[in-house]
Copies of this chain bind each other. A is one copy, B any other.
Amino acid sequence: MKYVTIMDIAHALGVSKSTVSRALAGDVQNVKPETMELICETARRMGYRRNEAAVNLRRQHSKTIGIVIPEVVTSFFMNFIQFAQHDLRQKGYRTIIAVSNEDITQERECLDMLVQCRVDGILMSVCHRAANASLYQDLMSRGIPMVFFDRRVDGVEASQVHIDDASASVYMVEKLIRSGCRKIVHLLGPEHIGNATDRLHGYREVLEKFKLPYNPQYVVSGGLSAEEGAQAMERFVRSGLEFDAVFGFTETAVLGAKSVLQKMHYRIPEDVSLCCISGTALCTLVHPTLSAVEQPTAEMADTACRLLLEQMERPVHFKPQTVVLSGEVVLRESTKAV
């Protein structure tokens, strides 16, 4: 495994490595056009590829951004990464992605690895609203810019961008009620995810607004996965309580619930309406298609990248800011018309 270096090129052409370096960097101020052309051509011919490690060492930055996400089963995070990569690449940054698997220990390891790689900044969606807060704070005080997206994090002085979960819930549940539903089950997300609480608040807010009674029995822990959602649904159905709609914290859980319901021959949406927050392309792939509040993924990625880049450009007197985006209600076949 022998890579060609600028010294190899310099030697082959009888010039100094400085000149080669400048030529390859396109420094038109300091190198004669024909020399430049010659060097670039030779580099191409010899198959030269710059050694990033050497560059990173010399310049004191890596031109890479770390992205930490909690899971890879939903396509939301992958879509986010795609958009973010597009934005960052345009600004000359590479990305390195790390998955915490919804585990705070793995999350710490991810962060550790990113620090070792000397990433210039971190885009992060936490797996726990508070558990690693002091670590984030520590990293940021060490001068590593961070922006948190999608999942809210508490007690950290940092830029964040997420959707207005409470409002999103309000929109969605209101649609449910206006379409005639009265007994709405809420598949609650895990307590350690901040957004779960907000979505529950939104749900309760609408009930109050419409003077409907709030019954805690209709709020069941639906987890994150399809399995958990299915189990929660099954348990609820067995409890014998009447219901005419399910509003879920997340897509996968609702899909699990949907399977259970369909297996029991509930008709959707005639017998039960189904909807959730943070839907992805999956919602359109199932039958009936699922009504959901869609995350503005592209906008979220753009905003997160912008915030991060701004913070990296002017690290001094930078003020953390929280951007709240609004989700878009998309009504599909799993809910009745209002």
CB <8 Å contact, B285 and A255: yes
Residue A271 interfacial (CB < 8 Å): no
A79 to B78, CA, bound (A): 12
CB <8 Å contact, A60 and B1: yes
A72 to B77, CA, bound (A): 10
From B82, B113, B142, B287, contact of A94 by CB (8 A): B113
From B118, B226, B262, B284, contact of A52 by CB (8 A): B118
A49 to B111, CA, bound (A): 11
Residue A167 interfacial (CB < 8 Å): no
Q: List which A1-57 residues lie within 8 A (CB) of chain B.
A: 1-3, 47, 49-54, 56-57
Convert A316-335 into 0s and 1s, putting 1 for each residue whose CB lies closer than 8 angstroms to a CB of B: 00000000000000000000
CB <8 Å contact, A2 and B143: yes
Residue A258 interfacial (CB < 8 Å): yes
Beyond contacts A53-B62, A259-B285: 7 other A-B pairs, Cβ-Cβ < 8 A, are A3-B142, A49-B115, A53-B117, A72-B82, A73-B78, A78-B78, A286-B286
For this complex, 21 residue pairs linking A to B, each with C-beta atoms less than 8 Å apart, are: A1-B142, A1-B143, A3-B142, A47-B138, A49-B112, A49-B115, A51-B57, A52-B116, A52-B117, A72-B79, A78-B78, A85-B99, A97-B97, A226-B281, A256-B285, A259-B285, A262-B287, A282-B282, A282-B285, A286-B287, A287-B287
Q: Which residues on A are within 8 Å of B, measured CB to CB?
A: 1-3, 47, 49-54, 56-57, 60, 62, 72-73, 75, 78-79, 81-82, 85, 94, 96-97, 99, 112-113, 115-118, 138, 142-144, 226, 252, 255-256, 258-259, 262, 281-282, 284-289, 315
